[in-house]
Amino acid sequence: MELNKIDHEIQRILNVTRLSTLDEMKNDFTVEEKSGRKDLVTAIDKSNEKMLVSVIRQLDPEARILGEEGFGDQIDDMHGHVWFVDPIDGTMNFVMQKNRFAIMIALYVDGKPQLGYILDVMQNILYHGGPEMGVYARSAGMVDRRIKRPDNVSLDNSLIGISGPLLINDDYNMKKIAQTSRGPRMYGSAGLEFASVIKGELSGYVSYLKPWDFAAGNVLANELGLAVKTIDGAPLDMLSSNVVLVATEQASEEVIKLAN
């Protein structure tokens, strides 16, 4: 199937998944601890992932799918069509706030970013795009609005997103990085923090993340000329955990210098 037809179908299924999420949220749903009380999964994470995986398989017979909750495939290399699915990004926010969470999908072909989607469920804003296509945000009932490349702002003139654990533990000199900025921000959804960097609300975002947390944001950030690297300044490994930094060129250089 052509890329733009796949794109259209993914946008459609994201909306279906959003509606079923809103519906299931009205009733009680199971919440389980994964590694502990700060790491949760709900029945809705699981049902979303099952639905998205089954639709992607129908759309793209070549698909190999890496999903957080394990309903996809075991993936050891980036050959061919590799999809990433995060059925609810910000599960803690979802459980505690019923707000500030996203559904994310990304497609890479032979390791190259192709399509990325971050759906802010409660605001009903879809961030999407890919190489040579541009990056767009679409609010409910509106047309796509093109997102332009954010200004190359410096750390001292901007806000920076830093994940809770990194800042609390002062890993990689994060307190100093926060002090150098105009202030740290902490949203609890990697997808929505990537979206804030893409919109130019934050000069950067840094967090320890898994592939499904950064795959979609990486597609969109790349297309807008933002730097996406590990905190050491190395390229991301798409198949393992990374301390990810997405930032303007200027802020990226400054953060990497302060962190190492």
- List residues forming the annotated binding site for Mg(2+): 68, 86, 88-89, 213
Residues in Cβ contact with 207 at an 8 Å cutoff, skipping those fewer than 6 apart: 161, 162, 163, 166, 190, 193, 213, 243, 244
The pattern of x and - marking residues 194 through 213 that bind ligand 2AM according to CB under 6 A reads: -------------x-xx--x
Member of 17, 42, 91, 218 binding ligand 2AM (CB under 6 A) = 91
As annotated, the binding site includes 68, 86, 88-89, 213
We find the least distance from the C-beta atom of residue 188 to ligand 2AM, in angstroms, to be 5
Secondary structure class of 104 (helix, strand, coil): strand
Member of 89, 120, 223, 254 binding ligand 2AM (CB under 6 A) = 89
Binding of ligand 2AM by 67 (CB under 6 A): no
Question: Are 88 and 73 in contact, with CB atoms under 8 Å apart?
Answer: no
Length of the chain: 260
Residue 254 touches which member of ligand 2AM, Ca ion, none, C-beta under 5-8 Å by kind: none
Question: Are 224 and 202 in contact, with CB atoms under 8 Å apart?
Answer: no
Pairwise CA distance, residues 34 & 31, whole Å: 10
Locus of tokens 């809770």 = 164
Residues in Cβ contact with 101 at an 8 Å cutoff, skipping those fewer than 6 apart: 88, 89, 90, 91, 93, 94, 121, 122, 189, 192
Number of residues that bind ligand 2AM (CB under 6 A): 14
Which of residues 53 and 88 has its CB atom nearest to Ca ion in the complex?
A: 88
Binding of ligand 2AM by 242 (CB under 6 A): no
Dihedral (Cα; 55, 59, 65, 70), 10-degree rounding = 20
Q: Which stretch binds ligand 2AM (CB under 6 A): 8-16, 169-177, 186-194, 197-205?
A: 186-194
Binding of Ca ion by 213 (CB under 5 A): yes
Binding site for ligand 2AM (CB under 6 A): 39, 68, 86, 89-92, 188-190, 207, 209-210, 213
